[in-house]
A = this chain, B = another copy of it.
Amino acid sequence: MAKDGDTEKRILDAARTVFIRRGTAGARMQEIAEEAGVNQALLHYYFRSKERLSEAVFTETAGRMFPAVVGILGGEFTIDEKIDRIVETYLDTMSRSPFLPGYILSELHHHPERIPKLLGNVAGRTFSATLLPVMEKLDKQLASEARKGHIRRIGAQQFVVNLLSLCVFPFAARPMFRAAFDMDDDAFARLITTRRKELPQFIKSALRP
């Protein structure tokens, strides 16, 4: 409702709020207009259709989550450093936006046709062209560390899946865990704080030979 920032950005912010809460199909243009403090016609003036607006929100929002992990996994760090940084980065980011993972997974599930476009835009170039070399390099690093006896042999894909699972899933399933463990927001935040400490140790221990 606050009238700071230019109109287009206000609409985009409002749309993000509503799409995250309701999903693309469940969101109403009227609700977005109210959230932005403008009328419905203006939404169409800037974004032409609900479809385009929801795509703009999704690609912008989801596109922010992926470059980080690629940057870290492809960087010049030891395996232990990569684990530390991924856990730290993701838990911090998602603690600030705990509804993001649920929204992104939900959209990916119901609109898989959007994924190529999303990955195509990450880092301004073909995502596969960025990711494939990163995965190959990571796999070599993991193999090398295994040969030295520092860690157990694990494939790069399994390594990445495990890492992301342990970081992202607690947020994606937050409503479920909150209900099952009878947690309020504070209790959930404490659960995550504990994970920030314990998760790197858990993963490193899992990799020990």
Contact = CB atoms under 8 A, between A and B. Distances in A.
Interface of A: 21-26, 99, 102-103, 105-106, 108-110, 112, 115-116, 119, 127-128, 131-132, 135, 152, 154-155, 157-158, 161-162, 164-166, 168-170, 172-173, 175-177, 179-182, 191, 194-195, 198, 202-203, 205-208
A65 to B, nearest CB: 10
Given A23-B26, A102-B106, 7 more contacts: A21-B110, A23-B23, A103-B109, A112-B175, A154-B198, A169-B169, A205-B208
Nearest to A182: B128
B110 A26 contact: yes
Nearest to A153: B198
A32 to B, nearest CB: 15
A195 B50 CA distance: 40
26 contacts: A21-B110, A22-B25, A23-B25, A23-B109, A102-B105, A103-B109, A106-B106, A106-B110, A108-B173, A109-B172, A109-B175, A115-B175, A115-B179, A127-B180, A155-B194, A158-B198, A161-B191, A161-B195, A165-B165, A165-B168, A165-B170, A168-B173, A169-B169, A202-B206, A205-B207, A205-B208
Q: How many copies does the complex hold?
A: 2
Given A202-B206, A206-B202, A105 B194 contact: no
